[in-house]
Chain A
Amino acid sequence: MPTVIQIVFGLISALIIGAAMMVVLARNVIHAALWLIACFFGVGALYLLLEAEFLAVVQVLIYVGAISILILFAIMLTRELEGARQLARGWRLWLGGAICALLFAGVLVPTLAGHPWNVPPPLGPAGTPEVVIGAADLGRGFVFQYLLQFQVAGVLLTVALIGAIVIAYEERGRRRRVLTLAEEHELRKRQEPATAEPPAGD
């Protein structure tokens, strides 16, 4: 049983790290967003492995369902016509990579490896199975212990959504008309003869 769990953990870790690398390095932004969805799924699977079932469902609902769709919409609405290089060039790329590699290998891993974590043994004192809280305890916590924080989070979400609408709103007079695909083809067909001679026999 431990071996199976270790294999599953290894696969999930490989998925998370590989997908995250693809998010960072992919040339196409849409491909990066799709890899981001895979990475979110991997993180959700890791939550499931860590026995945080409710959090895994929340991860799939909010990250996979909402945030990635929002990102895809933003990519769609801000489509750049020229194919720009996605990564920075030259010393900025190397400096960023050096900072991150140094942070990982020089600070984080030595700290994690050197810290005494004092993980308690999984079994209780009388040999009873371990107490792991579930969704019911979380819900009780939200309406008793963390009621104020819960309400503040609700207010924050409301304010953020209203703010997002206000920021992205465009007044009617300044709105540019978005061409449909047929109109775009028509425009391109009309522009083409002016710029280049159409191939013969077309």
Chain B
Amino acid sequence: MTNAIPLEAVLVVAAALFCIGLFGALSRRNLVGVLMGVELMLNAVNINLVAIWRYLEPGFITGQTFAIFVITVAAAEAAVGLAMIIAVYRGWLTVNADKVDSLKG
């Protein structure tokens, strides 16, 4: 595995996934779409962690443990974020991020 694919190839895939997720988070107007972009970015970070664990330190558990903690925090973030989206929808009857602008000066 490690001599068939260079480490850079895996990291470039993760970088591309991160940039696509960032684009989604920046340009989507639906709040759920923004959250989906954030999930893509978290997945890209996890691919990075696992790839560097596999290629550089395959005998230590730290890399995979960190990835599992990232997944845990991502699950918590998704639960709270979606609850907030539902609360916003109750108040504004919209999930368009541009219309939720009561803090705009």
Where the two chains meet, the residues of A that have a C-beta atom closer than 8 Å to any C-beta of B are 1-3, 5-6, 9, 13, 16-17, 20-21, 23-24, 29, 32-33, 36, 39-40, 43, 46-47, 49-52, 54-55, 58-59, 62-63, 66-67, 70-71, 73-75, 77-78, 80, 84-88, 92-93, 95-97, 99-101, 103-104, 108-109, 112-113, 117-120, 122, 130-133, 137-138, 140-142, 145-146, 149, 153, 156-157, 159-161, 163-165, 167-168, 170
Contact = CB atoms under 8 A, between A and B. Distances in A.
Interface string B53-77: 1111011110011011101111111
A153 B72 contact: yes
B34 to A, nearest CB: 11
A131 B71 CA distance: 25
Contact of A71 (B22, B53, B55, B78): B78
A181 to B, nearest CB: 20
19 contacts: A2-B3, A9-B5, A9-B9, A23-B20, A24-B24, A24-B27, A33-B36, A40-B43, A47-B47, A50-B54, A55-B64, A58-B71, A85-B29, A86-B30, A87-B29, A117-B7, A133-B61, A161-B79, A167-B83
B69 A153 contact: yes
A112 B87 contact: no
Interface of B: 1-5, 7-13, 15-24, 26-33, 35-37, 39-40, 43, 46-47, 50-51, 53-56, 58-61, 64-65, 67-69, 71-80, 82-87, 89-90, 94-96, 98
B58 A55 contact: no
A116 to B, nearest CB: 11
A6 B5 CA distance: 6
B73 A100 contact: no
A111 B89 CA distance: 42
B84 A167 contact: yes
